[in-house]
Amino acid sequence: MRLKRREVDEKARKVEDLERIIREFDQMALDLERQIQLEEDRTGIRDRGHFSYSTFAKAAAQRRDNLKTSTDGLREKLANAVRERDDTASELARAAAQAEHRDDSHGHRLGRRRERNVAAALR
């Protein structure tokens, strides 16, 4: 039971880590988008195919696109991690319910046995 609980905690941390990384990548991509806009406003050239288009803006756009590609892959990993965490949590809940049921059944049997022993002693 303790092992399964530890496994759920580990999978939950993995989900949290992936969510944090995705947020950071999204923020970095947004920052790059702003830098691209500022550079295009500064130069007055927005056509990426133009020969005078800013090399800084091109490089920033490439980094932004790479971040978005990485984020898409991380979102897939996150979906899998969430599914694994939820499955493991369900397994833990089922195991806990079974253990509780066993304890309750065992407790009822012991109670009945005690009652019989007390009744026999009173005779």
Sign of CA dihedral 27, 84, 90, 100: negative
* CA neighbor of 66 nearest in space, from 32, 21, 35: 32
CB-based burial label for 10 (10 Å; 0-12, 13-18, 19+): exposed
pLDDT value of residue 64: 98
pLDDT value of residue 122: 47
Q: Cα 92–80–91 angle (5° rounding)?
A: 10
Mean per-residue pLDDT for 25-35? 98
Paired tokens of 49 = 């195919």
Domain ranges for the chain: 2-122
Q: Are 80 and 91 spatial neighbours (Cβ–Cβ below 8 Å)?
A: no
Rounded CA separation 114/119 (Å): 8
Q: Which segments within the chain are labelled E, that is strand?
A: none
Q: Are 32 and 60 spatial neighbours (Cβ–Cβ below 8 Å)?
A: yes
pTM above 0.85, yes or no: no
Least confident range from 7-11, 13-17, 47-51, 107-111: namely 107-111
pLDDT tops 70 at residue 95: yes
